[in-house]
């Protein structure tokens, strides 16, 4: 049995991780949990999973959380603030830490978990985008596993099993195309927040759904793949795959191509990251190729999705530029979600910020 500390338990990654833990209680137990500010859901999760340690990042919410679980016996140790989240990340009883916190807020807790010798199920791509040059040496120093828990990098990781060190020629990252993949580029100036949040395939959090609509999510995944797998940016290609059945591919030196397929279900990569190197038998719906019928692919439209090129440029620049890109994107997406800027302002603000750096 593996003991889990879960960072970001009330978010999309967190709730799906807990779904896995609930389905496989003989395989996993949740010993530590951290959430942002959603006391109602967090208190329900604490009641169900009974962690020994729990932290809420918004310290003002601690009294409310304490009152919400006052009748629990035994009581978990309750902490608050960023320091509390870090304590959950490095909790001694945890074997693996799931990093489901959105944005750069996940970086310091992830570093703390690595320094505490914990394996990382990485669902927070900003950890490598903003901190790759710091995080990767720490992974090597402390001898822990960094296991991708998002669908694309999990697919690449699985395809690379057994491939010789010099056998890889190219990584092919698949992208659904997001909410506007079939919308003419000239109509993007009219789209709303509600439109952008209608992802055709995946159920995700608000921020990552907007990133999918701009394809910045895929650009950030290019940078993450560069750090995770040690490949040059010229060896990473983005392909639009509307069905989201092939989660990514690798091309080998002999032109063979390996792919990982599955339904658009985030639990699959999460389960593999948690159970690695084992494969756990599930009762989930098997993939039915006959039912799918056909798979299609097309090249991305760089006029429609300028964020991709911004990400490639930031990655090639190196240094702090990926962190600048990521921070600018986080702020631009937040402004869009607050309806303070239009959709097409997102890449403009990011480009202006990167140009000023």
Confidence at residue 126, expressed as pLDDT on a 0 to 100 scale: 85
Q: DSSP letters along 190-239, please?
A: G--HHHHT--SS----HHHHHHHHHTHHHHHHHHHHHHHH---GGGEEEE
Q: Which residue stretches of the chain have pLDDT < 70?
A: 203
The Cα 92–Cα 31 span in angstroms is 10
Which helix (DSSP H) or strand (DSSP E) does residue 53 occupy?
strand 53-56
Query: Is-contact 243 292, C-beta < 8 A?
Result: yes
The Cα 137–Cα 221 span in angstroms is 20
Write out the two tokens for 139.
């992974």
Confidence at residue 204, expressed as pLDDT on a 0 to 100 scale: 76
Confidence at residue 248, expressed as pLDDT on a 0 to 100 scale: 98
Confidence at residue 357, expressed as pLDDT on a 0 to 100 scale: 85
Confidence at residue 102, expressed as pLDDT on a 0 to 100 scale: 83
Confidence at residue 198, expressed as pLDDT on a 0 to 100 scale: 86
Secondary structure letter of residue 75 according to DSSP: P
* The dihedral formed by the CA atoms of 220, 132, 244 and 168, expressed in degrees to the nearest 10: 120
Instruction: Give the pairing type, strands 77-80 and 53-56.
Output: parallel
Structure pTM? Answer: 0.93
Confidence at residue 249, expressed as pLDDT on a 0 to 100 scale: 99
Q: Which residues contact 61 (CB under 8 A, 6 or more apart)?
A: 37, 39, 80
Nearest to 119 by CA among 99, 133, 105, 104: 99
Query: Is-contact 7 109, C-beta < 8 A?
Result: yes
Confidence at residue 104, expressed as pLDDT on a 0 to 100 scale: 81
Confidence at residue 200, expressed as pLDDT on a 0 to 100 scale: 75
């Amino acid at each position: 049995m593996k003991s889990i500390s879960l960072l970001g338990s009330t978010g999309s990654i967190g709730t799906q991780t807990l779904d896995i833990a609930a389905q496989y209680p003989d395989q996993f137990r949740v010993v530590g949990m951290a959430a942002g500010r959603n006391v109602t859901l967090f208190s329900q999760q604490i009641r169900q999973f009974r962690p020994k340690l729990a932290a809420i990042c918004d310290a003002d919410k601690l009294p409310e959380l304490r009152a919400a679980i006052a009748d629990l016996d035994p009581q978990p140790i309750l902490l608050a603030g960023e320091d509390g989240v870090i304590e959950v990340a490095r909790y001694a009883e945890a074997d693996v830490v799931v990093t489901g916190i959105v944005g750069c807020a996940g970086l310091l807790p992830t570093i703390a978990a690595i320094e505490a010798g914990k394996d990382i199920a990485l669902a927070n791509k900003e950890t490598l985008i903003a901190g790759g040059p710091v995080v990767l040496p720490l992974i090597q120093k402390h001898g822990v596993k960094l296991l991708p828990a998002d669908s694309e990098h999990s697919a690449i990781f699985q395809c690379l099993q057994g491939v010789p060190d010099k056998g890889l020629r190219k990584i092919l990252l698949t992208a659904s195309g997001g909410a506007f993949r079939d919308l003419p580029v000239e109509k993007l100036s009219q789209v709303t927040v509600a439109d952008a949040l209608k992802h055709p395939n995946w159920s995700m959090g608000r921020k990552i759904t907007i990133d999918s609509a701009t394809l910045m999510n895929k650009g950030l995944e290019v940078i993450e793949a560069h750090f995770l797998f040690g490949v040059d940016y010229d060896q990473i290609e983005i392909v639009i795959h509307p069905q989201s059945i092939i989660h990514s591919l690798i091309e080998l030196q002999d032109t063979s191509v390996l792919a990982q397929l599955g339904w658009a279900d985030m639990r699959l990569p999460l389960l593999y990251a948690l159970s690695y190197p084992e494969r756990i038998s599930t009762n989930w719906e098997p993939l039915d190729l006959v039912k799918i019928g056909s798979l299609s692919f097309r090249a991305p439209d760089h006029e429609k999705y300028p964020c991709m090129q911004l990400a490639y440029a930031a990655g090639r620049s190196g240094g702090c530029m990926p962190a600048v890109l990521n921070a600018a994107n986080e702020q631009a997406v937040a402004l869009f979600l607050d309806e303070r800027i239009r959709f097409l302002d997102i890449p403009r603000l990011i480009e202006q910020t990167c140009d000023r750096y």
